Amino acid sequence: PEPPGPRAIRRLHESLINRIAAGEIIHRPASALKELLENSLDAGSTSIQVIVKDGGMKLLQIQDNGCGIRKDDLSLLAERFTTSKLTTFSDLSKLTTYGFRGEALASISHVSHLTVITKTKSDTCAWKAAYADGVLVPSKAGYTPDPKPCAGNNGTTIIIEDMFYNTPTRLSALRGSSEEYARILDVMTKYSVHNSKVSFVCKKSGSMSPELSTPSCSDTSLAIRQLYGHSIAKELLHVTTSSTSNDSTEAVDEDDPEAWSAEAYFTNANYQGKKTAFLLFINHRLVESSRIKRSIESIYSGILPKGSSPFVYLSINLDPRSVDVNVHPTKREVHFLNEEAIIERISDAIQQKLAGQSQSRVFEYQT
Ligand code: ADP
Ligand code: MG
């Protein structure tokens, strides 16, 4: 048969382009939540509460007690590449706050109904604004789209409703609401371990008792005990290591771009979990690195029976200039300068601690 003739090339509607782009950044409710948690932490919050309905697809609401957003900034808030965290290109490399490209809220506004309620300390009331496709929407047809005054506490509440209502392919790629909820809890749990001084609450809408609730001003070991249980907490080892010396808490030279420091909490050979729990934070962002994961798994393959797995929480701080977490929009799999050497140093520290621990046990048996 004859091949079909050429068809006219047409430009996609801008709203469709934006929706597709947004779907690349916001994959599912848990990825939206990760961005929102980072924003709340950037804003200096000490208390963060999340309410979820239908796995976050119907409703994902996050309330914090951070610095709030100025009313005058609300009209720009959900536009793409608007951010309070970056002004010049050279800032890109110096930035230590979490996200910085100003894409999260914009993306969310393209694939859901987004409402923001916010109050700064100097505001006399809170302001409420609704967004669609990157811009403010009027509360009623014919009205000017201005933020409306309302009652509220200092801080910010972000309300996301009907996620992916206009992007059916994204919606159909989601799992059931209980699996999406499990992913939300997983993200919350990991951020709660990493931010043990901040209080986190996560619950289903309409439910009295939260699934996750942590106190403020806890510490890392307590947080791991509370969130991952006693069987992990009682077998936990701890190391710190850095570019300057092993096992020191000495401050790292701020001006040295190759300076780094790392801290790890990990289980000893007595703990044999079914599935590896691996929490990796680089510069306070939850990220993935298959290289680091492989390196740690190979340590444990020597000391754990086949089929059993450890718990490992690892936090690495590097000069922001040497990390490219932000190269890919989803910012998950990271790479950084001197990656191999740093991973080796961290792995060695973990391995030594594990070896030292099993030696002291042998010693105990002998005496
Ligand atoms: P980015 O975090 O990359 O700057 P976002 O789209 O996530 O981009 O947020 C845009 C801006 O909105 C932030 O730079 C910040 O000024 C403000 N913002 C967002 N969430 C909060 C919050 N919870 N508290 C205070 N300000 C916020
Ligand atoms: Mg952000």
pLDDT digits (tens, 9 = 90+) for 18-56: 888 787 788 899 999 999 999 999 999 999 999 999 999
Least Cα distance to 149 among 128, 131, 135 occurs for 128
Of all protein residues, the one whose alpha carbon is nearest to atom 21 of ligand 1 is 39
Could you tell me if 184 and 201 are in contact, meaning their C-beta atoms sit under 8 angstroms apart?
no
**Ligand 1 in contact with 134 (CB < 6 A)?**
no
Q: Which atom of ligand 1 is nearest to the CA of 104?
A: 6
CA distance 74 to 199: 27
**What is the number of alpha carbons within 13 Å of residue 252 lying toward its C-beta?**
21
pLDDT, tens digit, 9 for 90 and up, residues 136-153 = 987 677 777 789 999 999
Write out the residues surrounding ion ligand 2, Cβ under 5 A.
Answer: 39, 99, 104
Could you tell me if 354 and 303 are in contact, meaning their C-beta atoms sit under 8 angstroms apart?
yes
Find the angle CA(310)-CA(226)-CA(160) to the nearest 5 degrees.
Answer: 100
Range picked from 207-221, 240-254, 353-367 for highest mean pLDDT: 207-221
Q: What is the reported pLDDT for 13?
A: 82
**Ligand 1 in contact with 61 (CB < 6 A)?**
no
Q: Which residue ranges does the chain devote to CATH 3.30.565.10?
A: 14-213
Q: Which atom of ligand 1 is nearest to the CA of 108?
A: 6
280, β-bridge pairs: 314
Residue 160: which residues within 8 A CB-CB, separation 6 or more? 29, 32, 56, 59, 60, 61, 108, 112, 113, 114
Of all protein residues, the one whose alpha carbon is nearest to atom 1 of ligand 1 is 102
Prediction pTM value: 0.89
Of all protein residues, the one whose alpha carbon is nearest to atom 7 of ligand 1 is 104
pLDDT, tens digit, 9 for 90 and up, residues 343-357 = 999 999 999 999 987
Q: Which ligand is nearest to the CA of 100?
A: 1
Q: Which atom of ligand 1 is nearest to the CA of 107?
A: 6
- The reply to whether ipTM tops 0.90 is yes
CA distance 23 to 300: 37
**Ligand 1 in contact with 39 (CB < 6 A)?**
yes
Could you tell me if 293 and 257 are in contact, meaning their C-beta atoms sit under 8 angstroms apart?
no
Could you tell me if 233 and 224 are in contact, meaning their C-beta atoms sit under 8 angstroms apart?
yes
Which CATH number applies to 228-361: 3.30.110.30, 3.40.50.150, 3.30.230.10, 3.40.50.2300? 3.30.230.10
Q: What is the CA radius of gyration of the chain?
A: 23
* CATH number for the domain whose boundaries are 14-213: 3.30.565.10
Q: Which atom of ligand 1 is nearest to the CA of 97?
A: 2
Cα–chain center distance at 98: 9
Mean pLDDT of 83-96: 55
Q: Which ligand is nearest to the CA of 77?
A: 1
The yes-or-no verdict on residue 367 having pLDDT over 50 is no
Q: Which ligand is nearest to the CA of 103?
A: 1
Mean pLDDT of 294-308: 93
Q: Which residue ranges does the chain devote to CATH 3.30.230.10?
A: 228-361
